[in-house]
Structure 1
Amino acid sequence: MATMTVLLQVQRQLIDLLVASGPETAMSAGAPVPVPHYFADLRATVAMIFRSWPVAREHASTPCLAAAIDAEYASRVLQAERLLNTLGKKKTSKPYTVPPQGCLATGAALDTAAKLLDTHDPGDARGRLAPLVQRLREADLALSTWLRRPTWISVSLRQAVMDLPTGRRAAS
């Protein structure tokens, strides 16, 4: 029951942003951003979640939603491993950036991403996202750079996930 309540809540939140009479901005990583930028931030955050899993597991709203991402992550790891044995450019990052096919995994990923982004404090946003970014950089530097490129995410998310100077890295 708790999982269904969470999924209905995140669905309502996203629908409210998409209706014609909806707000022009949404909170993302400590600042209001235009709604289209919020959806770009959600997409980037979902990819960060999948590529850095299980780092974000503590942000899943229910054990059922965490288990759904566990299963989706395992599937993506297998897809990426299969790509290692192909000729040409490997594209092993691709399995982590495509949307989930299952409804439960989609809802779980969107809920977790929305929770990570939902803060009015830029410092809090950085604290929430720093462990994901650190793991992402360790696992896939090219994807880390691609997901955090300035033309793809909002200014507030970019500030939350930008690299800290040496010696100031957030604790993992």
Structure 2
Amino acid sequence: MAALAGHDLLVFTLTRTAPADTKPDAPARMAVIRVTPDLKKPREQPVEEFEVDFREPFQAYVLGDEYYFLTRSGSVYRAPPADKGKSRRMVAVWAAPQPPVGYIFSDGNRPGVHYLVVTRKREVEQTEWYEYFRLGPNPQTRELKNVEIDSTETPVERAYWMARALRENEILVTPK
């Protein structure tokens, strides 16, 4: 679900069809439904439906009139608006062979601004370093500086140190 400015919600439902013995897999489809809250009964209105390139759990983000999907395996897909009378088409923004997205940070002071972090490995030194990019159609990675994470730290501790580095590098905005 993704909330819209007028407090309506968009619900994204992934439909996967199991193949019959003699038929190939049917493409997975995404149904988008607008839910208008009401104290008595919320109103549901189908918005659109389109084929998707993944079949796994996901998180949805709405940026303007584009939909973005971050999958459990760390891939990012974009569904830009289609020409009138046509369906949206899914485009991979970040997928294998790129390393999976491991963390996403939303800037609470700038709605619609999300940073995704990936882990890179230096084979020679056997060390890790981190890159980030802003969620959008053309990811441009940058090294996340001033972050030192011990390999024994938990995922929550890692997220804390990454968020702190994003803030210290003035990537995430902190009110003064």
Query: If the TM-score is normalised by the length of the shorter chain, which range does it land in?
Result: under 0.3
Question: Which structure: greater strand fraction?
Answer: 2
TM-score under structure 2 normalisation?
A: 0.25
Question: Which structure: greater helix fraction?
Answer: 1
Higher relative CO (CA 8 A, sep ≥ 6), structure 1 or 2? 1
